[in-house]
Amino acid sequence: MTTSPNGASTIVRTERGLTIAGTRITLYSILDYLHADWPPKLIQDWLDLTEEQLSGVLSYIDAHRDEVEREYATVLAQAEERRHYWEEKARQRRGKRKTRPLTPEEAELRAKFEAWKAKLHSV
């Protein structure tokens, strides 16, 4: 792991993966921003990192690029699998949902809403 001038580790491995010491921010989050072409100063400000933390992260990524990118690809694949899983669960729940007929008041509100929506789209 990377150490700061005061001897403390900047990057630590936690159950979440490679993480900035003393935070819940993973290197994978930093890589998301870097891959989106965010400038380092904006990442630092957005995530409220010190210059020391950000330089430690960038140094670590540069020194271990292959390993970090492999882990990042694994993290992205796992996130995609979870997203698909939960989307399917939601789709199944929607399919099981019983719909009831609208009350007259609800039907009137629905008609007003649809008319308003049509008016917006015609502009």
CATH (domain of 118): 1.10.10.10
Long-range Cβ contact pairs of 22-28 (< 8 A, separation 24 or more)? 23/49, 23/53, 25/49, 26/75, 27/57, 27/60, 27/61, 27/68, 27/72, 28/71, 28/72, 28/75, 28/76
Q: What angle do CA 104, 105, 111 make, to 5 degrees?
A: 90
pLDDT tens, 8-34? Answer: 589 999 999 999 999 999 999 999 999
| Reported pTM | 0.67
Q: What is the largest CA-CA distance in the chain?
A: 71
Range of the domain at 30: 1-123
The domain tally of the chain equals 1
Pick from 44-48, 67-71, 100-104, 109-113: least confident: 100-104
